[in-house]
Chain A
Amino acid sequence: MKSIGLRWSVVFLVLTLTQTVWAKDYRASVFGIKSDGVTLNTRSIQKAVDFISENGGGKLVFYVGRYLTGTITLKSNVTIQLEEGAILVGTPSIYDYYTVDGMKALIVANNQQNIGITGKGVIDGQGTTVLEQINNQISKGYMKETALQASPALIAMDSCRQVTFSELNLVNACGNVQTYSGCRELTIRDVTVKSTVVADSKGLVLSDCNGVKLSKIYFETSGKECVTDGKSKNITADGCKNEMGKTVSAKN
């Protein structure tokens, strides 16, 4: 039993190495993605993610600038790299957030592996403006959902493996900042979470996850910093704290 496990992990290691060899860096501008803060880049970014995933994987690199977008779906073997100064900005136009497999978020992934977002950049949900728009549409009767249902999270993932988030700033979510369900091998490190512009924005929601490493995450959230359910296991938290300086564990 043990040896089979070992053999599989060797195969897996080889696969990982192969991927590393083939992984390519793609500059955002190649896909016509604009850093001007006014061009809605949703479909160009999605095209880039799909293209990179279909062509053996790699990194989609955003350099300094404001990149306006609606919901994008991450695909296997694609890492979004936000260099320092690059901001992925959630559009204030609420119908540009799609529900993907029951998840409503700026960045969504379902059943993908070897994915992540890295770099010193920012993902900004523009929660205040987005919530205003949602309430406006609800009051006019055009939107049937409640504000809570309609509010997009910043990041939502389901059944993904080998997910890495590092060195990011996640700010101003309209809903929760991050929700992971049924994910395996999830690593989040050196991430600053600042989300206080809407009520009860939770920093991290884990359900039925296995193998989660949290390290050096700063939480400043209007809701709970970190919520896990009973089914999640193998979660470690190291050096995580909130704005009051209190250590955040993975158990609350």
Chain B
Amino acid sequence: MNKTSIIILLLVICNIGKITAEDYKASLFGIKSNGTTLNTTAIQKAINYIHEKGGGKLVFYVGRYLTGHIELKSNVHLQLEEGAILVGSTNIYDYNIDTPYSSLVFAYQAENTGISGKGVIDGQGRELAYNLTDQINKGIIADVMKYDRPGSRRPRAIYFRECKNVQISGIVIRNSADWVQVYDQCENLRIDGITVDSKAFWNNDGLDIVDCRNVKVTNSFIDASDDAICFKSHDATKICEDVEVRNCVARSSANGIKFGTVTAGGYRNFKIVNNKVYDTYRSAITIATPDGGAIENILIDSLYAYNTGNAIYLRIGARSRPEKRGTMTNITIQNMEAEIPATKPDAGYEYEGPVEDLPRNISPASIVGLPGQEITNVTLRNIRLVYPGGSNPNYAFRGTKPADLDSIPEMAKSYPEFSQFKELPAWGFYLRHVRNINFENITLTAKLPEYRPAVVMDDVKEARLSGMTYNEPGKGKKQLHTYKSSGVTQTK
């Protein structure tokens, strides 16, 4: 190599160095790692400074960094090195509680931003929520206290709104006072290799992706007391679309993977591939449109659920916005396995899911539209569901006579949850108000005898079943019951 080429190479490297954003150590800004100094203003100053200097990383090394609400800016990344913990203040007045975006780490209309590293964000959410509750109970803060908990103002650990090119990678997020992380109307969002461990308080959703476009969530582990991986659509003029979730593991005292509850706009073009759900109180996968949103082109492939209260729940409701009618079409669920336990799957976790809708025996997977508002074009392929069986008709009973089936309420206006109808007349699948559905190679197992058939269809049009296997102790039972249905065919 001659001299000139070395010089050119050096120049190139220098240039790259210049283009690549600079790193700033937290101590440069007087940010303290002792766990007791409140760093809010120093961290904010650092972010503003880096932003004004053209961007870069604010790097936190090992230590506990106490802070209140901070706002990320364009071209600024927080880098939490291994051992660094961003610790949320437990004083509720250290947060932006009088805005809709109450949060620890916030970003608004920022581009090229994010949080990375092997460090931790700890919201100290339980203490924070208790302190907020205390202020409300003393009458200092006015709040409706729905369910005896603060109805608003509880800070999320992360809230990104209307941001572009967001990268969240490697970090651990713990103990939020509300949802753990919200990405709301963001574009180009990458979440990779993160860990969520949050059973600190009510509504600890693990991950909420709201009306975002072009999202990839990969290789992450989420253990949360409320829905673990959750898509929402808050704005009727927006839609959540082009989303991929791959190689994630979820644990929840609510749902593992959930579309909803708030579904104003809708969801389009989702690929949920190769994920696992375990010790989860409600459904492994819930797709719900109770608020008029449109859901289409959803692929759930290779979903494995262990010790989970319910496998699949698809639901159209009409909770709000009666002028808009929710739709759900082109849903494919394939290569799925689920084991449903007889006991409470999330027993012993903090903030266990609430026991409700009793009395009922173990609920089946359910696909339930509304009269004249069917769920359409559903394919279920290569699915194996194992149930405990052993239902007791004296404890709770719903037979297959017309009167029994018609007694199941429509519950259009209710919160959609797999258990909402209380006792259902099937142990494997209950379908109502569905059009054009394929069952291909489905195995349903009940470990103990059941008083109910495996599958009940009510108001189902065009259902093709092939390769169905029913395993239940005893024999000679008719496992498929249809009612008010047409075009149902069953082949081997």
Contacts and interface: CB of A to CB of B under 8 A. Distances in A.
**Is there direct touching of A and B in the complex, by C-beta distance under 8 Å?**
yes
Interface of A: 27-30, 34-38, 61-66, 83-87, 120-122, 169, 192, 218, 220, 241-245
Contact of A84 (B137, B202, B352, B356): B356
A28 B350 CA distance: 19
Contacts of B126: 36
B352 A29 contact: no
A245 B145 CA distance: 42
A36 B351 contact: yes
Nearest to B130: A34
Contacts of A28: 148
B355 A192 contact: no
A27 B148 contact: yes
Given A169-B355, A243-B392, A63 B147 contact: yes
B489 interface: no
A34 to B, nearest CB: 8
Given A35-B202, A66-B351, 16 more contacts: A35-B148, A35-B351, A61-B148, A62-B148, A63-B147, A63-B149, A64-B356, A85-B355, A85-B356, A120-B356, A122-B355, A192-B359, A218-B395, A241-B394, A243-B394, A245-B393
B350 A245 contact: no
Contact of B137 (A30, A61, A86): A30
B103 interface: no
A195 B434 CA distance: 40
Contacts of A87: 354-355
Interface residues of B, number: 21
Contacts of A120: 356, 358
A64 B359 contact: no
Contacts of B133: 29
B358 A66 contact: no
B149 A244 contact: no
B145 A27 contact: yes
B358 A192 contact: yes
Query: B137, B148, B351, B394: which has the most chain A beta carbons within 10 Å?
Result: B148
B395 to A, nearest CB: 6
A121 B126 CA distance: 23
A244 B393 CA distance: 9
A243 B395 contact: yes
A63 B145 CA distance: 11
B299 to A, nearest CB: 33
A64 B147 contact: yes
A84 B130 CA distance: 22
A27 B145 CA distance: 9
Query: B350, B355, B356: which has the most chain A beta carbons within 10 Å?
Result: B355
12 contacts: A30-B137, A36-B351, A37-B350, A63-B148, A64-B354, A85-B356, A87-B355, A122-B358, A192-B358, A218-B395, A243-B394, A245-B393
Contacts of B137: 27, 29-30
A27 B350 CA distance: 21
A83 B27 CA distance: 50
A64 B147 CA distance: 7
B362 to A, nearest CB: 15
Query: A29, A34, A87: which has the most chain B beta carbons within 10 Å?
Result: A29
A65 B203 CA distance: 12
A85 B126 CA distance: 20
Contacts of B393: 245
Interface in B131-151: 133, 137, 145, 147-149
Given A36-B351, A241-B394, A243-B392, A29 B148 contact: yes
Contacts of B202: 35, 64-65
Contacts of B350: 36-38
Contacts of A36: 126, 350-351
Contacts of B392: 220, 243
Contacts of A29: 133, 137, 145, 148-149
Interface string B81-125: 000000000000000000000000000000000000000000000
B354 A86 contact: yes
Nearest to B145: A27
Given A29-B148, A243-B394, A66 B352 contact: yes
Contacts of A66: 351-352
B129 to A, nearest CB: 10
Contacts of A242: 394
